[in-house]
Amino acid sequence: MARIVAALAVGAIGVSASASAVAAVNASVYATGGVWSVRFGVVDKTAAVAYGWYVDYEGTTSGFGRLSIATNAAFNATAQAFGAGFLEGALTSSRIYEQYLNMHAWLQSNFAGGDIPAVYSQFFANQSQWSRAQAATNFSVYWQAATAVLSQFDGLVAGYGAVAPANMSLGVWEFDQLNGMGDFLDLIPALQPYSEAARGWRWEELTSAEIMAHVHRTTHCSALFKVTGNYSDIFFGHSSWFTYT
């Protein structure tokens, strides 16, 4: 199995207290006896499942943080994906938390600033349960890829939890919110079609001005993909044109 290599630009805001806020942090992730751990200041390309570095925005000329992660082909694909997620969660923990604060506030604004109704967390839990059941019994290329994505998500949650202080604790549901942020634009009218939060999707109740205002609020995202001339690599960028992310 070939190793996984990822390089990302990470937007940054605010002030961080954890290791992820220090410029040029190296780290490696290990799986020893079924126990996953991260070791900062080490780039171990031999024994580690994943290794890489994170440079926070203060250490770049672009003003964006940079994350680079590679995995060890000596481990199976599931372990490599989990390790890559674990390392990302550990290296960028404070930025993940800041992102959660921003985006959770936006989600709450759809429900009059109150709690997000339980129907949404249950939807994500049901989807996770179904996806994992399918991944466990189907071995097509598609479901092998899906298994890797699920493993990376699990690693992300675990890696974050391994380094985040108690007052920055985030669980699976909080990561579901971050991972499925764009989905809420569809889930709100689908799961609560007659709620006030979904009024913007009930076109028959809106004036022309309200329709256009809703379209401007809920149509997002631009992406750019570029393949190198020899097809050896692909680069991509994305802007959500959304609340500050």
Instruction: Write down all domains in the chain, each with its CATH number in brackets.
Output: 5-239 (1.10.439.20)
Residues 47/30, Cβ–Cβ less than 8 Å: yes
For 141-199, give the DSSP string.
HHHHHHHHHHHHHHHHHHHHHHHS-GGG---HHHHHHHHTGGGHHHHHHHHSTTSGGGG
pLDDT of residue 188: 92
pLDDT confidence band for 244 (50 / 70 / 90): low
Examine the pLDDT at 219 and tell me if it is beyond 90. no
Examine the pLDDT at 220 and tell me if it is beyond 90. no
Question: What is the spatial order of strands in the sheet that 35-40 belongs to?
Answer: 5-10, 65-71, 50-55, 25-32, 35-40
Q: Which residue in 27, 100, 20 sits closest to 56, CA to CA?
A: 20
> 42 Cβ partners below 8 Å, 6+ apart?
26, 27, 28, 48, 51
Length of the chain in terms of residues written: 245
Q: Which residue in 19, 44, 18 sits closest to 30, CA to CA?
A: 44
pLDDT of residue 135: 95
CA distance 59 to 66: 9
- H runs (alpha helix) in 25-171: 77-91, 93-109, 118-137, 141-163
Express each pLDDT in 176-217 by its tens digit: 999 998 899 899 999 999 888 888 889 899 999 999 988 887
Burial of 228 (0-12, 13-18, 19+ CB in 10 A): exposed
Residues 46/106, Cβ–Cβ less than 8 Å: no
Per the prediction, the chain carries an average pLDDT of 87
Choose between 245 and 110: higher pLDDT.
110
Examine the pLDDT at 38 and tell me if it is beyond 60. yes
CA distance 238 to 222: 6
CA distance 150 to 97: 20
Q: Write down the pTM of the prediction.
A: 0.81
Rg (alpha carbons) of the chain, rounded to whole number: 20
- Structure letter (DSSP) for residue 72: -
